[in-house]
Structure 1
Amino acid sequence: MERRYDIDWLRVIAIGLLLIYHIAIIFQPWAMFIGFIKSDEAMESLWQPMRMLNIWRIPLLFFVSGMGVHFAMGKRNIKQLLLERAKRILLPFIFGALAICPLHFLIFQKYYNMPFSYIPNAGHLWFLGNIFAYVLLLSPIFYFMNKLENGKFKKILAKVMSYVLGPFIMSGFFLLEVGLVKPQLYELYAQTTHGFFIGLIAFYFGYIFMYSGENFWKTVTTWKWLYIGIATALFILRFTGYESISNMYLTSFESNCWVLGVFGLAHQNLNKPSALLSYLSPAVYPVYIIHMVALYAGAWIMLPLELTPLQQFIAITIFTFLFCFLGYELLLKRLSFLRPLFGLSWKKKIKATAQEVTV
């Protein structure tokens, strides 16, 4: 199966953006309401680009995760797939909920002189729990589809994906989800019914896009600027605050347009090997797992310093990335007993193809 470097890059970029997004929350006046340490001086202007990002960053990760399953299924039967996903996703999810998530909650309580307490929960690792559930739910369907690899369904799907509007068949499912679930906010994904079903749909269509073949990638590459143009127009409408016109159905469609445009840009520009990518691909999963501890520690250290909000943001960002990558380089990838707990292969000599990893 052809190696897809653009998909590897999308995982890396999406998780990098997620780190910056979470750091930006610290400088919003509502940060404490969702359990983040809050800067005394808000920087609300920082949130404007985040408003553009936050409606497609998580769906993008679920799309890529579904694509990863397509690659993994090419080498495994259903029993092997479930066992491999249990090792790579379920084990880090359980370990993280018990041993990693408590750390940033304790830092939060220490910062605000609150009594120490913790009830085990998924925290920022909710994403892993969702993915494992999707693998359990959808893998039988995916294996059935693989048995019909040369059937009419795949041929029709490939034909549909060759048209500019073809990839938008997914939008009907996302619009239906908005109508049935009625989320309070489109971007409120973590541990919500809305987040579960948005992820399920994105995961499924990530697989479908890979299954349909090269036509999908030719289409999104050819029409990427149309998709991005539509997304930009819808974002401007949303940004202006014309609530009587802008609504969650349009936000859902905007999200799909961003994702398709990003797929096209990545396929055209990033589908090539890179030494940097070879390093980052296995690193982003453990970095994702520990980044909240790094972020809270950075806020605890940097916020009391006499710095401007912008300087604090830059300092916390640098601290977070250094903490995560030094932790990965010096500990997580080198200690054999830690590797499986952070989603890395169980033995150093075994190198997993990054695009097979669903996070």
Structure 2
Amino acid sequence: MTLTNAVPDRRLDLDWLRIAAFGLLIFYHVGMFYVTWGFHVKSSHASSAPEPFMLLLNPWRLTLLFVISGCATRFMLDKMKTGTFLGARSSRLLIPLVFGMFVIVPPQTYFELVEKLGYTGSFGEFYGKYATASGGWPLAAPTWNHLWFVIYLFVYTLLIAGIGPLLKRIPARIMAPLAKGLPIVLIPFLFLTLMRITLEPIFDETHALIDDWYAHAVYFPAFLFGYAIAKHEPFFEFCQRIRWPMLVLALTAWATLTTIRYGGFYTAEPSSPLLVIGPTLRELQAWTMILALFGFARKHLRHDNAARRYLTDAIFPFYIIHQTTIVVAGHYLNQINLPVGMEAAILITATAASCWLGYELVRRVPVLRPLFGLKSNGTRKAARPDRQPASA
């Protein structure tokens, strides 16, 4: 008996969780316009006030997405031959990536140059230099910006196509004690904490792929973990049982970390115990929140409806479109000098509207569909009961 257990061929709870995770990512990027952390453009109202709420999402949002993507990859590979799978993933990921780098992302770089470096050239002048990598700016061009997730997912997909069959042969008797109980809480938490303390200070997260060693040390194992547990139902049952204690632990870790960081207790002194306590609390929050979310999803999100079928296809185009809207709209809103509440409401509305209108256009124009990761034939396979959870 392998680690695959009696489990449905699809997981509606993972579909819903993926939709929610990408949705939160979009709102997180709206928040980046208002905090003091680095972003392409900044509101004149930017301050540290929203940062504690951003830290409620920051530690776990990307790790969760890679775990879910690993789960989805397992379902797909179990249904396809490796060559067919790689062809499907290449078209779904690489075409939108290249299109995004040369069509969607350039306005982000342009307005970043305008705001940070005082660039005065027209967009046309900028684009010629951007597309030919001849601008000589201190910014990468061409670049993938927020679409870094797509290229990372593609590389991890290539790797899993080679080692995935080995993971599927892990006997259930070995997997079972590791996928529930104290081991599944402690081992990933300790691993994430170790990576944060040892690698992150040396290899800061760059999203540049070739030198992003801390990110790979966290996200590829998360992807592998998702692949390994995708069809191991006892893991999800255990998450459902412990969802409330894990949520309490996650919120407690977040509150403690936020108090340390914004309550005047933080210090960067090399001998400070906070340099260990901080990362430990961060990863405790991250992993316990991920377990809690899997548990709540299994408990409450195993139903299907038209909204899930619509959003399962829509969320990837939403993801591709959203950040350019935030940057462009944010730049022009800055010039109007509106009150922060009104400005934020307009920015959120503009982002949501552009995502929805963009998707509604793309899904109706056959030539645009593959550019945004949709099947070119227009077949709405989300309605099929045997479809695997979507990925990316």
Query: TM-score, normalised on structure 1?
Result: 0.89
Once structures 1 and 2 are overlaid, which stretch shifts more, 136-145 or 51-60?
136-145
Q: Percent identity among equivalent residues?
A: 29
Q: Which residue, 13, 31, 35 being the options, matches 1:24?
A: 31
Bigger mean CA deviation after superposition, 56-65 or 304-313: 304-313
Residues of 2 paired with 1:349 and 1:231: CA distance? Answer: 40
Question: 1:215 deviation in Å?
Answer: 0.4
Query: 1:138 — aligned with what?
Result: 160
From 59, 62, 79, the equivalent of 1:58 is: 62
* 2:238 paired residue number: 219
Cα deviation, 1:87-119, whole Å, max 9, x if unaligned, reads: 111221122112211122224445675133531
Determine the structure 1 residue equivalent to 2:82: 78
Distance 1:49 1:75 in 2: 40
For residue 259 of structure 2, what is the aligned residue in structure 1? Answer: 240
Equivalent position to 2:52, from 28, 48, 51: 48
Q: Does the CA-based 8 Å contact 1:164-1:219 persist in structure 2?
A: no
Any gaps of 5 or more consecutive residues in structure 1? none
Alignment RMSD, CA only?
2.3
| Counterpart Cα distance in 2 of 1:25 and 1:193 | 24
The 1:168–1:334 alpha-carbon spacing in structure 2 relative to 1, beyond 3 Å, is farther
Rounded to whole Å, the distance in 2 between the matches of 1:121 and 1:64 is 25
* Deviation of 1:319 (Å): 0.7
Alignment map for 1:318-337 (pairs within 5 Å) = 318-329=349-360, 331-337=361-367
Moved >6 Å (runs of 4+): none
Contact 1:95 1:341 in 2 (8 A): yes
Q: What secondary structure sits across from 1:37 in the alignment?
A: coil
Determine the C-alpha separation between the residues in 2 that align with 1:41 and 1:209: 44
Letter matched to residue 158 of structure 1: A
Superposition pairs of residues 155-304 of structure 1, within 5 angstroms = 155-183=173-201, 188=205, 190-191=207-208, 192-211=212-231, 213-241=232-260, 242-243=265-266, 244-245=273-274, 246-304=277-335
Contact 2:239/2:294 (CA < 8 Å) preserved in 1? yes
Of 286-295 and 237-246, the range deviating more from structure 2: 237-246
- The TM-score, its normalising length taken from structure 2, stands at 0.82
Give how far 1:35 is off: 4.1
Structure number, greater radius of gyration? 2
| Shift in CA distance, 168/138, structure 1 to aligned 2, threshold 3 Å | farther
Give the 3 Å change call, closer, same or farther, for CA 172–164 of structure 1 in structure 2: closer
The answer as to whether partners of 1:92 and 1:341 remain within 8 angstroms in 2 is: yes
Distance 1:309 1:131, change over 3 A: same
Q: 1:271 offset after TM fit, Å?
A: 1.2
CA contact (8 A) 1:167 1:216 kept: no
Alpha-carbon distance in structure 2 between the residues aligned to 1:184 and 1:49: 27
**Post-superposition offset of 1:356:** 4.0
Deviation at 1:342, TM superposition (A): 0.8
Alignment-mate amino acid for residue 358 of structure 1 = S
Q: CA deviation at 1:121?
A: 1.2
Q: Please give the secondary structure, in 2, of the residue aligned with 1:272.
A: coil
SS at match of 1:304: helix
1:263-309: CA deviations, max 9, x gaps?
Answer: 11111111110211111110010110111111123213433335311
Alpha-carbon distance between aligned partners in 2 of 1:203 and 1:189, rounded to the nearest angstrom: 19
CA deviation map 1:16-58 (0-9, x unaligned): 111111111111244xxx3422111224322211012101011
Instruction: Select which of 75, 87, 92 maps to 2:91.
Output: 87
**Match of residue 346 from structure 1:** 376
SS in 2 for 1:28: coil
Which residue identity does 1:5 align to in structure 2? L
How far apart, in 1, do the equivalents of 2:203 and 2:286 lie? 13
Aligned length: 349
Structure-2 separation of matches of 1:70 and 1:324: 29
- After superposition, the Cα gap between the structure-2 partners of 1:109 and 1:165, relative to the gap in structure 1 and judged at 3 Å, is same
Q: Which amino acid aligns with 1:279?
A: Y
In 2: Cα distance, 1:294 partner to 1:167 partner: 39
Q: 2:390 is matched by which residue type in structure 1?
A: V
